[in-house]
């Protein structure tokens, strides 16, 4: 019996030690806090975009034919009016010869019609031909003259088509794409086939980024921009906003605007198609009172469930006063997403604001306890 009582006593003591109430300790550790301090805040907008040359010309063909020669390749520097490729001119030359022959025939017909007019006029003066013969002769001469003009226009057209068989560069730049090979047949239809892409100047690039409508109001042209690319993660490049395009893009009720950033590329590191991670600085404050942004959205479980922000720059933060959070009304300024500027409010550096409430386990009777390892 003594051994049994001793064993029960030991078990009761172990159970009491295991489930020892820790109400006061839990209450002091119930909230996660961070300290209010002073420092700098930089408000920025981040966005991703694609690098591209400022001016890219797509060179196509206005006539159909087979590629006969190609004079340039990828990455070649070209001058304005330089020959890029040639199409087989055989069919175009034949069409031009046919048009020239038709022109000769039309001119001969016109010469004969004019001679008939002169003879008919001579007979008409001698009263040997009626008025109708003279009118018909003049009409045939006018038709022949029109046929000459039509044949001349066809010759001009075929001459131009033959000239288009030699494809030239419209600008000076660099060939960044070539979509044609020797022997390939190209057909000029309603949509001109793209044979080459030429970038005018790779020393100046642009980035097309999408900025949400809530942020685009704080942007203006010539605002400085910094960005990085995955190819050079340790290098930071600079640029400026060149254009904020007015045409919005709406996807699932989300409205964004295309903000075009221009950047210099003197070393040629930036290549077309690279993904740029853009950072646009909107505002900066020096040595201001700062609180964690998460403190502005915290609400105690037993407090008012209404939002902590009032939509007019006014918010509520909770300062840990002893073991209980005390609400403090504040007015906020700019934010960088992590820290927020406090413009007005009963806060001082060193105050600890609540950022979250820790989950403490409770028994069914409401007593807070913690599990302890043996």
Mean local confidence (pLDDT), 222-226:
93
Confidence check: pLDDT of 363 > 60 = no
List the single range of 252-256, 317-321, 364-368 with lowest mean pLDDT: 364-368
SS3 assignment, position 104: helix
What is the enclosing helix (H) or strand (E) of 342? strand 339-345
- Which phi and psi angles does 14 have, rounded to 5°? -65, -40
SS (H, E, C) 60-80: ECCCCEEEEEECCCCCCEECC
Residue with tokens 């386990």: 361
CB under 8 A, 24+ apart: contacts of 65-69:
65/89, 65/91, 65/92, 65/165, 65/185, 65/186, 66/183, 66/184, 66/185, 66/186, 67/180, 67/181, 67/182, 67/183, 67/184, 67/185, 67/186, 68/182, 69/182
**pLDDT above 90 covers what percent of the chain?**
62
Q: Is pLDDT larger for residue 371 or for residue 91?
A: 91
List the single range of 13-27, 167-181, 216-230, 278-292 with lowest mean pLDDT: 13-27
Q: Is pLDDT larger for residue 64 or for residue 304?
A: 64
| Per-residue pLDDT at 5 | 64
Mean local confidence (pLDDT), 221-243:
94
Is residue 276 within 8 A of residue 47, CB to CB? The reply is no
Q: Is pLDDT larger for residue 235 or for residue 12?
A: 235
Sheet holding 194-199, edge to edge: 56-60, 194-199, 173-178, 77-78
Is residue 316 within 8 A of residue 295, CB to CB? The reply is no
Query: Helix H segments across the chain?
Result: 2-18, 23-28, 90-125, 131-164, 213-216, 294-297
The number of residues in the chain equals 374
| Per-residue pLDDT at 319 | 92
pLDDT band at 66 (very low <50, low <70, confident <90, very high): very high
Confidence check: pLDDT of 253 > 80 = yes
Q: What is the pLDDT of residues 279-325, one digit of tens each?
A: 999 888 999 999 999 999 988 876 554 554 555 558 899 998 877 88
pLDDT band at 194 (very low <50, low <70, confident <90, very high): confident
pLDDT band at 129 (very low <50, low <70, confident <90, very high): confident
- Which phi and psi angles does 15 have, rounded to 5°? -65, -40
What is the pTM assigned to this prediction?
0.66
Is residue 337 within 8 A of residue 293, CB to CB? The reply is yes
- The pLDDT mean for the chain works out to 85
| Per-residue pLDDT at 340 | 93
Confidence check: pLDDT of 270 > 80 = yes
Q: Is pLDDT larger for residue 134 or for residue 146?
A: 146
| Per-residue pLDDT at 275 | 95
Confidence check: pLDDT of 366 > 90 = no
| Per-residue pLDDT at 89 | 93
- Which phi and psi angles does 354 have, rounded to 5°? -80, 130
Q: Spell out the domains of the chain, with CATH numbers in brackets.
A: 89-163 (1.10.287.470), 201-285 (2.40.30.170)
Highest-pLDDT range among 13-17, 93-97, 352-356: 93-97
DSSP label at residue 193: P
Among the listed residues 282, 328, 303, the one whose alpha carbon sits nearest the alpha carbon of residue 36: 328
| Per-residue pLDDT at 77 | 92
What is the enclosing helix (H) or strand (E) of 284? strand 275-292
Confidence check: pLDDT of 361 > 80 = no
Confidence check: pLDDT of 25 > 50 = no
| Per-residue pLDDT at 13 | 63
Among the listed residues 209, 303, 197, the one whose alpha carbon sits nearest the alpha carbon of residue 261: 209
Query: Which residues contact residue 250 at a Cβ distance below 8 angstroms, ignoring those fewer than 6 apart?
Result: none
Is residue 106 within 8 A of residue 209, CB to CB? The reply is no
Mean local confidence (pLDDT), 214-229:
91
| Per-residue pLDDT at 370 | 45
User: Would strands 37-53 and 275-292 be described as parallel, antiparallel, or unpaired?
Assistant: antiparallel
Q: Is pLDDT larger for residue 218 or for residue 101?
A: 101
């Amino acid at each position: 019996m003594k051994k049994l009582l001793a064993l029960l006593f030991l078990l009761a003591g172990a159970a009491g030690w295991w489930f020892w109430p820790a109400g006061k300790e839990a209450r002091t550790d119930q909230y996660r806090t961070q300290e209010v301090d002073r420092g700098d805040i930089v408000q920025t907008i981040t966005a991703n975009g694609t690098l591209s040359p400022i001016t890219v010309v797509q060179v196509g063909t206005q006539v159909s034919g087979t590629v006969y020669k190609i004079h340039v390749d990828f990455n070649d520097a070209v001058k304005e009016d330089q020959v890029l490729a040639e199409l087989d001119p055989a069919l175009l030359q034949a069409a031009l010869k046919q048009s020239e022959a038709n022109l000769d025939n039309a001119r001969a017909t016109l010469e004969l019609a004019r001679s008939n007019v002169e003879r008919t006029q001579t007979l008409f003066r001698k009263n040997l031909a009626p008025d109708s013969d003279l009118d018909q002769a003049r009409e045939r001469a006018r038709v022949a003259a029109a046929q000459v003009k039509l044949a001349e226009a066809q010759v001009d057209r075929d001459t131009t088509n033959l000239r288009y068989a030699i494809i030239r560069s419209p600008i000076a730049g660099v060939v960044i794409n070539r979509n044609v090979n020797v022997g390939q047949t190209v057909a000029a239809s309603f949509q001109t086939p793209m044979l080459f892409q030429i970038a005018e100047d790779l020393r100046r690039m642009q980035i097309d980024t999408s900025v949400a409508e809530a942020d685009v109001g704080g942007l203006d042209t010539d605002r400085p921009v910094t960005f990085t690319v995955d190819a050079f993660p340790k290098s930071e490049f600079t640029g400026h906003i060149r254009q904020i395009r007015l045409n919005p893009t709406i996807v699932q009720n989300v409205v964004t605007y295309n903000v075009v950033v221009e950047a210099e590329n003197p070393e040629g590191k930036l290549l077309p198609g690279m993904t740029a991670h853009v950072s646009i600085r909107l505002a900066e404050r020096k040595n201001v009172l700062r609180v964690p942004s998460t403190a502005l959205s915290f609400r105690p479980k037993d407090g008012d469930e209404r939002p902590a922000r009032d939509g007019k720059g006014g918010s509520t933060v909770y300062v840990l006063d002893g073991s209980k959070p005390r609400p403090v009304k504040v007015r906020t300024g700019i934010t960088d997403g992590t820290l927020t500027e406090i413009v007005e409010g009963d806060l001082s550096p060193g105050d600890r604001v609540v950022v979250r409430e820790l989950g403490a386990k409770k028994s069914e009777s409401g007593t807070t306890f913690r599990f302890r390892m043996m």
